[in-house]
A and B are shown apart, each in its own frame.
Chain A
Amino acid sequence: MNLQGRQTWKFTNSIYLNAAGTSVGPLESEGPLGSFFDKTYSDLHCNQKNWELAERQLMEDAIDVCLKKTKLQPEDINFLLAGDLLNQIVSANYTARGNGIPYLGVFGACSTSMESLALGALLVDGGYANRVIAAVSSHNATAERQFRYPTEYGGQKPDTATFTVTGAGAALVSKEVSDIKITSATIGKVVDLGIKDPFDMGSAMAPAAADTIAAHLKEMNVAADEYDLIATGDLSGVGAPIVKMLLKEQGIDISDNHRDCGLMIYRPDQPVFAGGSGCACSAVVTYGYILDEIRKGNLNKVLMVATGALLSPVMVQQKESIPTVAHGVVLERAEGGN
């Protein structure tokens, strides 16, 4: 049975994550994980005319690097599953226009990273694709413009605010043997506990992350300590303690093996408020740092849960609360491809 319980896919075939590519902006490259990223820019504009083009450049770079590592051409890829945070997911659409890979656009806000990876693995497992690339991007300035104020506006942000990561990540999924396996994925349901403050998305998203982690452990019938690392996407300094608390209430203890990508990507002294957020936050940390740790053998089994605040400025102005979702993917070390 490929379906475990209600919402978890257990892949029957051996599905591998063959290679990944990451590209980041200046603040991310100066952060503690800076050396793990493939391509870095010292300028937020990424040598482009405007912010949107800069974000597109990042996504194109991530896919390019991913293809180069595997010595493949865009023609060798069956499908591109990509998304970003902008209206009509423009960064993904225009990147797909450029490389000509048959394309499915996906949107799950910041959870798009694992949503696209899970769907990619599903397509390969079902025999509907030989090779899939899952890619996401986000850019601090495009996200500010999309969701908040102009970048140079002098409004004061509270300490609960998060800072959108500038970057992009792409991963190649196929049945060709490599050192990292994708073994299962849990699709989250949309959770909304009434948080209306777009400057506190950690509090809004933590219940979704807790829900997906609890569902995953139950349906796979495993304990939390089965995983060397249970990582969340961008809960930040506010949401990370909340998800631990919510899971503890259900008898699940992740205090020893949980880390949040939003807290890993920046140094505490960088001006990022509660921590990093955005599709690229979970993507570049997973595809850059976590994959490397798995390859080195420092981690064997990782549950990566990308969290997304399905935020719309219009809906928030209409006094609606922020719906959130989280999707989890399990990455395992495959020694010699086993």
Chain B
Amino acid sequence: MATKEEQQAYAEKIKPIQPKPPYFINCLKAFLIGGLICLIGEAVQKFYMTYFNFSAETAGNPTVATLILVAALLTGLGVYDKIGQFAGAGSVVPVTGFANAVTSAALEHKSEGLVLGVATNLFKLAGAVIVFGAVSAYIFGMIRYLFQHLM
């Protein structure tokens, strides 16, 4: 087993050879594609408000559902992972990324059956989002409650 010093020396030595991640280009791509997804969301929301008499508040649910449906379909058609490789965080962070995480896990584990395959592994990737979403909602809810009632 190599010592800490040997490991550090090796890491230093190979640094010039390793390709640098193009941080700026990646950020730009993420910004553009992430923004584009949000723009599409806006358009869908306007569509529901104009043609189905939703208010700005109530249009949220059908808009999110539509985006999730489209992202799930794109995942199934093998397109979303290609968008993801290009856009990085831009297509992971929006709700479409969550839909992709769930759908891709479901597709992957279809071969092990509906219960132990699909159902068990459905939230394999997205589970962490739900856990930390619920926990942080609880914590911030408590903080808000304290501020509202004690101050």
A contact set with B: CB distance below 8 Å: 49-52, 145, 149-160, 191-195, 200, 203, 206-207, 237-238, 241-242, 245, 271, 274, 321
Contacts and interface: CB of A to CB of B under 8 A. Distances in A.
Interface stretch (B38-46, B51-59, B101-109, B129-137): B101-109
Given A150-B125, A154-B84, 14 more contacts: A150-B104, A150-B105, A152-B100, A153-B101, A153-B125, A154-B100, A156-B26, A156-B88, A156-B92, A160-B18, A191-B2, A194-B11, A237-B19, A242-B17
Given A159-B19, A245-B13, A193 B6 contact: yes
15 contacts: A50-B111, A151-B81, A151-B104, A152-B80, A152-B104, A153-B81, A154-B100, A154-B104, A156-B84, A156-B85, A156-B92, A159-B19, A160-B19, A194-B11, A203-B14
Interface string B115-145: 0000000001100000000000000000000
Of A153, A159, A194, A203, which is in contact with the most chain B CB atoms at under 10 Å from its CB?
Answer: A153
B97 A192 contact: no
B150 interface: no
B91 interface: yes
B94 to A, nearest CB: 11
A49 B111 contact: yes
B83 A194 contact: no
B75 interface: yes
A49 to B, nearest CB: 7
B10 interface: yes
Contacts of A238: 17-19
B82 to A, nearest CB: 8
